[in-house]
């Protein structure tokens, strides 16, 4: 729930490091917590609950259920500190995803993974995972690896990940993301100055191989089906992925300026202006697709809430499309 580090001078010119951690309750409770979960569920059409430490060892058990029409998903994860350092986790999921405008009507996928992660030093974090995925009647072994680099002042963050399903007809996905913000105080809403202004920028490149299933192809979106934002061009149509917007390559950039105010007590709000650019190549059909979107929006955050709510009004500068979207962004997507 919260943490604090103190440095206390001691003899011989040394300093003593004192850490304090306030863990979350075993079962989420309190009106504010329940209200926040309900708002997040309304924005994402997904219910997600996480426990506090089951035995006092820092472990976390979480469950998720996506109740979006035609594209349901159920998942669970257990992660805990590993005896040898870092974190270990095991997770499982079951999901279905229909398509709009393709002969393939539905993708059904299930999987289980076991993973490890740790910080190698003050800058670099690594993660590894292995498991089994199944599409309809085909099962494949899965391997995944990733790394994240963060600057000491926390204003620059870069991450890369690779997933592979090896075999004679195997396939893989690759992604690289770089994110930057102008201010640490302005980017961390929970330690926000009452009148903070922050500019956040993200650049992403994603690639998938020829045999990769269609439900893993990248695209721009309003934030529901894909985290890469093209806010005037939603990827979902009544819960189905719009195949014409999918591609095997995606180059993406977004920039957003936010002006924050403390409204009352734990509530903070911001106005935002943004611009999104996405180029989707090697599409299912047709030439490469370029989207340039711009717009304005509002942001809402609560102390102790692991994310923020957003509402955006976006305009497509190339095709004139106008879209209003509502979403919820976890902190790992907003540089927390």
Instruction: Please list the rounded mean pLDDT of every run of 10 residues in the chain (336 residues).
Output: 84 90 75 76 86 82 90 94 91 93 78 95 93 87 94 88 92 95 57 68 96 93 92 92 93 94 83 96 90 95 78 94 89 44
Task: Output the pLDDT for position 190.
Answer: 45
Q: Domains of the chain by range and CATH? A: 25-333 (2.40.160.50)
pLDDT of residue 334: 39
For 241, counting Cβ atoms within 10 Å of its Cβ (0-12 exposed, 13-18 middle, 19+ buried), the class is buried
Q: Does the predicted model carry a pTM greater than 0.75?
A: yes
Taking alpha carbons only, the member of 154, 143, 76, 148 closest to residue 118 is 148
Q: Do the beta carbons of residue 329 and residue 223 sit within 8 Å?
A: yes
Phi-psi region of 331 (alpha: psi -120 to 50; beta: other; left: phi over 0): alpha
Q: State the burial class of residue 295 (Cβ atoms within 10 Å of its Cβ: 0-12, 13-18, 19+).
A: buried
d(CA 222, CA 158): 22
The pLDDT of residue 193 is 47
Q: Which residue has the tokens 């304090």?
A: 20
């Amino acid at each position: 729930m919260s943490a604090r580090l103190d440095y206390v001078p001691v003899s011989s010119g040394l300093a003593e490091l004192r850490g304090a951690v306030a863990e979350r309750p075993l079962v989420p409770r309190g009106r504010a917590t329940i209200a926040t979960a309900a708002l997040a569920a309304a924005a994402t059409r997904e219910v997600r609950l996480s426990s506090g430490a089951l035995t006092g060892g820092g472990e976390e058990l979480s469950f998720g259920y996506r109740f979006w029409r035609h594209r349901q998903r159920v998942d669970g994860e257990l992660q805990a500190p590993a005896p040898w350092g870092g974190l270990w986790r095991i997770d499982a999921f079951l999901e279905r995803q229909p398509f709009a405008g393709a002969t393939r009507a539905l993708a059904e996928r299930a999987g289980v993974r076991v993973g490890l992660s740790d910080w190698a030093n003050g800058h670099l974090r690594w993660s590894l995972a292995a498991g089994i995925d199944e599409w309809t009647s085909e099962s494949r072994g899965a391997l995944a690896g990733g790394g994240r680099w963060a600057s000491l002042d926390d204003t620059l963050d870069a991450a890369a990940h690779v997933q592979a399903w090896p075999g004679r007809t195997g396939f893989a996905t690759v992604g690289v993301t770089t994110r930057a913000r102008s201010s640490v105080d302005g980017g961390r809403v929970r330690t926000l100055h009452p009148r903070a202004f922050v500019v956040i920028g993200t650049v992403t490149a994603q690639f998938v191989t020829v045999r990769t299933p269609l439900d893993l192809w990248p695209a721009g979106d309003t934030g529901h089906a894909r985290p890469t934002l093209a806010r005037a061009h939603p990827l979902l149509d009544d819960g189905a992925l719009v195949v014409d917007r999918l591609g095997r390559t995606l180059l993406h950039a977004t920039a957003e300026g936010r002006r924050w105010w403390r409204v009352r007590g734990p509530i903070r709000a911001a106005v935002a202006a943004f611009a999104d650019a996405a180029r989707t190549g090697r599409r299912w059909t047709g030439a490469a697709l370029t989207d340039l979107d711009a717009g304005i929006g509002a942001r809402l955050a609560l102390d102790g809430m692991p994310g923020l709510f957003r509402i955006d009004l976006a305009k497509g500068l190339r095709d004139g499309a106008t879209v209003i979207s509502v979403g919820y962004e976890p902190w790992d997507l907003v540089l927390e």
